[in-house]
Structure formats: C-alpha cells, structure tokens
Structure 1
Amino acid sequence: MVKAKIIFHIDMNCFYASVEQALDPTLKGKAVAIAGNPKERRGILVTCSYEARAKGVYTTMPVWEAKRKCPELLLLPPNFEKYRAASKAMFTILKSYTNLVEPVSIDEGYLDVTSIVNGADAIQLAENIQKRLLEELDLPCSIGIAPNKFLAKTASDMKKPMGITVLRKRQVPEMLWHLPTQEMHGIGESTAKKLAEHNMKTIGDIAKRNEKELEQLMGKVGIRIWQKSYGIDEREVDPESVYDTKSVGSSMTSPKDLVELRELFDMIQVLSGKVSSRLRSKNLAGTTLQIQFRTADWKNITRSISFKNGLSAKEDIEREAMKLVRKHWNEEPIRLLGVAVSHVFNVKEEAEQLSIFNYEKHAKEEPVLKLVEQIKRKYGETSIQKGMKVKRKSNFESTTSFSKDFLDDH
C-alpha cells in the first residue's frame, strides 16, 4: 500500500511587517504598514500588521485611505535587505528538517515530510517548526497540512495568524464547495468572471460540471480547475522548480498621471531596456510580449502579442510595445505602465525557426556546418564544439521580481 503524502505549506504572517517588529520591539502591538513613498504616488501598502488590519487597513490600500481609517498607523519604507536575510534564515530552518523544500516566494514554501513523519505526528512536527520560527527569528507563521500542494496552500490560509490546519481530500465538499470560485488558488478575477458567465459561481458549481466541459471552456487550465475542485493535485514538491523563469517583466508607477503619448513612449523605452537586460543576463528570449496599463481610477488593462521567434533585444521589445500602446491606449490618464516578455526559452538550447527572412543566413552557414561534420567524423564528436557562454550568477537586475531575487541566496 502506497503511503499517503504529507505536505506542509509554510506561510509567514504579514512577513515584511513582522520582520520590522522583530528587529524593533517598540513596534510590537502597533499598527504598522510597509509602503512606498507617497510623494511619488507609490503610496500603496505592500503589507500591514494584524493590528492595522483590525482597524480596516489592508494590503494594496492607498496610503491616504489607510491613514484616514487608522490615524495612528506607522508607515515604514521597505527594506529588502532585512527581508532577504530573514527569508534566508527561515528557509535554513525549514531545510534542517528535509531537503524536499520548495520555495514559492520570499515568505512561503512547501515541505514534503512524508518520509520523516507519519500522519499521527504531523501536527506535532508542524508545531515544532512554528515554535522554532517564532523563538529563533521572532516571526509568526501559519502551516497547512494536506496530502498535496493545493490543499496544503488552501489550509494555511484558513487560520491566521499562527494557525495549523489539516485539510483532507474527503473534507473538500464540506470545506470548499460553498466558497466563491475566486477563493480557489489559481483563479483570478477574470477567470472567476468567465466561470460566472457559465453559471459557475462557487467551487461546488465547478465540481458539478464535467471535466471535458471545463476543458472545452478553458483548455488545460479548465482541467486543473476541475481537478482542484475535488482536491486533486499531482504536483511534486520540487526544490528546483521555483528557479524556472516563465516571464521577465518590469513596471513603473509615475509620480503624475501620464496623459501624453510621448510620456508613455519615454517610459516604454526605460522598461524595454530593463526587460532586455534581464533577459540577456539569463540567455533568455520570449515569444509573447505583454503591456500593462493601470489607469488613474485603478483599472488594470493588459494586452499582448505573440511572435514566431523570440524577443530579447531592447529595440525589438521597445518597437512592439509601442505598437501595442498606439493600438490599445484610449487616452485615459495612466499611473502605471508595465512591459513583460513571457513564454521564455534558453536561446542556447532553442533552434531558431527557419523563415523567409532568415533562410539566406542558414544557407551561408551550410559550408561551415559541413566542415564541422567532417572534422567530427575524423577526430571524434568532442573535437569541435560550439562556443559556450559562461553562466553568470544572477544579480538583482537579472531577476523578474524581488520575490524571486532572494532565491540567489539558496
């Protein structure tokens, strides 16, 4: 009989605010929030303490509104070096239990503890981990315990702060089916809206449908959503998976609303340079380019275009991004602009597709390729090889976000 898996999801509570309180005990028990510089219009809360949440303050709330709800709110600028050090210490503790630790972001991760504990002792192990994180780092966390990653993640959200929750597959109908679809991890606002258009407003509504029906509606995503509605998730805890870059992007919030096309183009130039630099530092290119607008009234708009061959050069990203801006900007004032390249691949491992535009180049290379083959046949396969670029260690500029950047420490 195959032993059921025991997966933990560790979710640090109000991580940035908790780190600040751990380093400065005078902040404990007080309403604390981490935010950017309000003078630069980056006045959005990144996170806030539970004391602040008790006053109606929440993450992503504008600073002015948070201060109105909670006049005593203490605003702190983010200090990423502090958070990075705390994250490294947190994952060091987790890895002392098992090497099957999968970091998901700076403040959460999965552990597969199947081989080191049985079901009866799982709660005791979770209590031990929670206690160590609190005693050694002064950082609170919630832990979800389940037979797979989806249920463990769902469970860790059920009791905060300092909760430990067990969620079994047989409990899914009772615990999850009554919830709105957007409560399911992996379902965002647009997906929830699409499901609602087909009379699926709760997780139970999804479960009552046929798997094929969901596949026809949403492709592979639909299959995964249907499986999750029954608590099915076959993904392994993979310590390496978080390093797989799926997209590279950059965004900027303007100090003032952008109302001129020239202003948007100026920002596109800067963002394209950053994205190109990050792609090239990782030897990546991508076949889909996306732009994001956030209007002055907080409406988010994304538009994308796909290509046969990958993009990585600044001038190519800039040119195509500007085309998307011209086509889709309706002259509403813009406060944030973003550029991202997705469906990325390693340019050293992917052969460029032949097209009417590059066949001449390949034709010119043909005599060289034949000569290489002759040398290999005569002196062996390893006698001549393509030049190899030495892999550079990632730095902050070569990462897609701070949440991923901390992984260089591991």
Structure 2
Amino acid sequence: MNSYYPKKGRVILHVDMNSFYASVEMAFDPTLKGKPLAIAGNPEERKGIIVTCSYEARKFGVRTTMPLWEAKKLCSQLIIMRPNFDRYRAASKGMFDILRQYSDLVEPVSIDEGYMDISEGAEMGTPIEIAQSIQNQIERELDLPCSIGIAPNKFLAKTASDMKKPMGITVLRKRDIPQILWPRDVVEMHGIGQKTAQKLYTIGVKTISDLAHKEDLQLKSTLGINGIRLKKRANGEDTRPVDPDSIYDFKSVGNSTTLPKDSTNQKELLNVIHTLSTKVASRLKNKGMMATTIQVMIRFKNRKTITRSKKVKNPVQLDQSIFEEAKQLFLKHWNGDSIRLLGVTGQDLIEKEDAVEQLDLFSYEKAAEKEPLYDTISRLQKKYGKKMIKKGMAQSEPNKRENQYDTSFNKDFLRED
C-alpha cells in the first residue's frame, strides 16, 4: 500500500462535478433524466446564454455559452430552465461535506470542483479505491455524477479529471506527460485560453511539448512571468499545496448586466451603474471587505468590450463612493456608442478592519476628532484581543467560515440579480 503513497510526494485528487447545474436539476426532478436540458438566462432580456447543458443536449451540438436561439435550432426538443442558485449551493455544500469525510485538506475552487490531498490516506485504500468510493458516495447520496483526476500535483490532477467525462477516474503521472500531454495543442492546456494561445503561436509554440521546451527568455518577453509558470506546468511542475482556507481569500467582487436593449441614453446608463454599484457595495459589506480599486466594464453593440480601472485614494465600501468612482471611469472612457452590457467591480480587496484611510487636508480634521476613540479601541484590542471590539463593525460576527461559505463562489455564478 505504501507504494501508492510516496514519502516525499503527494497524492492529489481533483473532483469535478459533471454538467453540474443540469445534473442538480435532474436529481431534483428525475423526469428530466435522459432528456436534453439546458440551464440558461432570460431570453426576453437577451440573457439567453447557455450556462450548462446535459450530455444528452451536447449530442445535438449544444454547448456552454451558446446563444439560446442557436441551441434551439440545433435541438428543437431542448428543455430550458432558469438557474436556481440556492439549489446549486445546497448541492455544492453536500458534495464538499462528503469530500471532507475523506480528508481535512479539501480546497474548493468553484461551486462544482475542488482539490483533495489524500497523501495520508493509506489506511483507506489505494488512491483509485478512494476515488471510486467518493464517486459512488456522491452518486448514491446526492444522485450526482462526477469525474476525478488522480495525480502528484494540482495541475496534473485538474488535467486528468477533464480526460474522461462523465463519471471518469483518470490517473496522470509525471512519466505519462510526454505521451499524453505533450502532443496536444497548447490551447488545450489548463490555464491557457485563446488569447494566450494566439500569442504562443506567434513564437512557434504550437503544442504543449513546444511550450515545455521553449527557451525562458522568449516566453518571458511574450507572456511575462506567466510564460515561465506555464512552461513549468507543461513539464508537470506544480508546487501549490491544497489550501482549505483559500476560499476565504477575496480578490474582487463584481456585478454586470446585459441591458434590455442597446442604449446611448446617459441617464439610463448611469442608473444602471448606480444599481450595479449598490449590489457590489452590499456584497462587500456582507464579506466585511473594502475595495481599493474600482473597475468598469463596457460592452458595445458591436460586442467590443473594454475594462477600465482606477486605484482609489481611500478604500471604499459604501454604494455612493463606489458609484462616484465608477461614474467617473464610465464618463471618461465611454465614446458615445450604443452599449449592450455594463459591469462594476471592486478589486484588490482588504478586510474592513485593516483598511487605513489615507488622510488628506480635508479629511484630517474630521479624523482627528475621532483619534481619542481610536486610541481607546486600540488599547482594548491589545488587552482583550482584536475580536473584542472593532471600528465601525458589529460587536459580534458570525463564524468566518460559516458566514463566507455561501458567498465565496459568486465569481462562478451567472449573477442575474
């Protein structure tokens, strides 16, 4: 058994739920099983984009991100359902609860996938036996299918889980890389999108093997430090640990919306930005975070999309503060053309209690009036701990892990509210 668990290495699983939203709906309503099903937005408001679809629908050529009208042309009997995120969150929680029965080192990376470190799992069986047990338990208790990759690191485990769907279990070792990974087109590698692939093509990198053997200098000049990182991945190198606490790290909070119709009406567009700013502010408040950068996204009628951001002088959380920054960015960079979609994002987040206001001449006097209060709070925190009392926050807060579980996957949801 010990031969399956090297002393100096790790055994990592990547568990990836298959066609998650559609599978959850089928588990909830078994009459949907075996039928072409698509989860999509509201076609009346032009949000009719396929979020995910069943494997039965995929046989007709229906794919994620496909416009709904196109999917209907391919599959006239396609069943269309709106997303039910409460249902998906509940299923996700159930799935991760099962994973934690096998290891304390479970790292959710999205609502429907996560890593596990089972390097200490010899008493439970071989890695394949553990993967089979997990797969069977998720199917038995939640009626949901999943694929699992087994590898010595996160990158290879993620790559392996994509190799056989649905309900696959794949082992990918470093010695398998030249035969299995290297012959593939570089765009097929996890972590490389179309834009990055196009840049690599221009320097003669066509396959993953080309990337694995490309000189560092040219990769760095083309892709920056990311080029070196991708080369390491292509050689099967990945030292990232499985970190259960990573889901509590917030880098950005954003909301976007497709307009009911293309618009050049400035008042209407600013109203949309105000609404989006309010939603971002609400989510920041729920997380106890503040943004130090504000970004706006503008998608024009011709689908050209631009994003513009600004580092703010003081960390922001209030809706009006976010709106003012977003408004300035929008007015500065909007060229007057008809707009299809708008988005507002708070970036480079910091915890509210760690936010330090950068005082200027006008705010100094007001801040100075509060200085005795801050001094008192600081002394109390030093004596009784930081959680005893916090500036501008409730005296008691829910447990951080419990409070943040349901909101940590927002980036992966199709936000329509």
Q: Would you say the 8 A contact 2:293–2:310 is kept in 1?
A: yes
Tell me the residue number matched to 2:280: 275
Distance 1:20 1:155 in 2: 26
Query: Identity of aligned pairs, percent?
Result: 50
Q: Which runs of 5+ in 2 are unaligned?
A: 1-5
- How far apart, in 2, do the equivalents of 1:384 and 1:29 lie? 57
In structure 2, the CA distance between the partners of 1:69 and 1:137, relative to structure 1 (3 Å rule), is: same
Does structure 1 residue 121 correspond to structure 2 residue 130? no
Amino acid at match of 1:345: I
- Quote the Cα distance in structure 2 between the aligned partners of 1:12 and 1:352: 43
Verify: 1:382 aligned to 2:387, yes or no: no
Aligned to 2:397: 391
Residue identity matched to 1:227 = K
The equivalent position to 1:336 in structure 2, one of 322, 341, 352, is 341
For 1:265 and 1:285, the matched residues in 2 are separated by 22
Secondary structure at the counterpart of residue 56 of structure 1: coil
Which amino acid is 2:77 matched to? E
Q: Deviations over 1:227-259 (max 9, x none)?
A: 212111111111111121110111112222223
SS of the equivalent of 2:354 reads coil
Q: Distance in 2 between matches of 1:197 and 1:364?
A: 60
Residue aligning to 1:291: 296
Q: Could you tell me how far apart the structure 1 residues matched to 2:406 and 2:277 are?
A: 13
Contact 2:253-2:411 within 8 A present in 1 as well:
no
1:240 to 236, 241, 245: 245
Distance 1:25 1:335 in 2: 38
Offset of 1:363 from its aligned partner? 6.3
Q: How does 1:6-17 map to 2 (within 5 A)?
A: 6-17=11-22
The 5 A counterparts of 1:124-143 are 124-143=129-148
Corresponding residue of 1:150: 155
Could you say if the C-alpha distance between residues 291 and 208 of structure 1 is closer, same or farther in structure 2, counting changes exceeding 3 Å?
same
Kindly indicate whether residue 167 of structure 2 is the aligned counterpart of residue 162 of structure 1. yes
- Residues 367, 284 of structure 1: alpha-carbon distance in 2 compared, 3 angstrom cutoff: closer
Shift in Å, 1:40: 2.0
- 2:3 aligns with none
Following superposition, the deviation at residue 354 of structure 1 comes to 5.4
Q: Does 1:110 align with 2:115?
A: yes
Deviation at 1:341?
A: 1.1
**Would you say the 8 A contact 1:295–1:333 is kept in 2?**
yes
SS of residue matched to 1:179: coil
RMSD over aligned Cα, in angstroms? 3.2
Letter of the 1:99 counterpart: D
Amino acid paired to 1:292:
M
Cα distance 1:67–1:400, how it changes in 2: closer, same or farther (>3 A)?
same
Q: Is 2:29 aligned against 1:28? A: no
The 3 A distance-change label for structure 1 pair 23 and 72 is same
Identify the match of residue 84 of structure 2 among 75, 79, 82: 79
Deviations 1:73-103 (A, max 9, x none): 1111222222222222222221111121111
**Residue 183 of structure 2 corresponds to which residue in structure 1?**
178
The match for 1:39 among 38, 44, 51 is 44
Structure 1 stretch 171-180 or stretch 23-32: which is displaced more?
A: 171-180
For 1:4, the equivalent position in structure 2 comes to 9
Give 1:408's aligned residue: none
Q: How far, CA to CA, are the matches of 1:125 and 1:395 in structure 2?
A: 29
Q: 1:400 to 1:254 in 2, by over 3 A?
A: farther
Structure 1 window deviating more from structure 2 (316-325 vs 208-217): it is 208-217
**Matches for 1:228-377 after TM superposition, within 5 Å:** 228-353=233-358
1:283 & 1:359 partners in 2: Cα distance? 25
Tell me the distance in 2 between the aligned counterparts of 1:400 and 1:120: 32
| Distance (Å, rounded) in 2 between the aligned partners of 1:249 and 1:158 | 32
> 1:356 deviation in Å?
5.9
Structure 1 gaps, min length 5: 406-410
2:410 aligned with 1:401? yes
In structure 1, distance between residues paired with 2:205 and 2:311? 30
Q: Name the amino acid aligned to 1:312.
A: Q
Quick one: distance in 1 between partners of 2:373 and 2:25? Answer: 60
* Partner AA of 1:236 in structure 2: P
Q: Show the counterpart of 1:188.
A: 193
**Residue in structure 2 matching 1:68, options 69, 73, 84:** 73
| TM-score between both structures, scaled by the size of structure 1 | 0.86
In the alignment, the residues of structure 1 paired with residue 297 and residue 194 of structure 2 have an alpha-carbon distance, to the nearest angstrom, of: 16
Q: How many correspondences in the alignment? A: 401
Q: 1:345 to 1:368 in 2, by over 3 A?
A: closer
Preserved CA contact (<8 Å) 1:277 1:397: no
Asked whether the equivalents of residues 247 and 408 of structure 2 are also in contact (C-alpha less than 8 Å), the reply is: no
TM-score by length of 2: 0.85
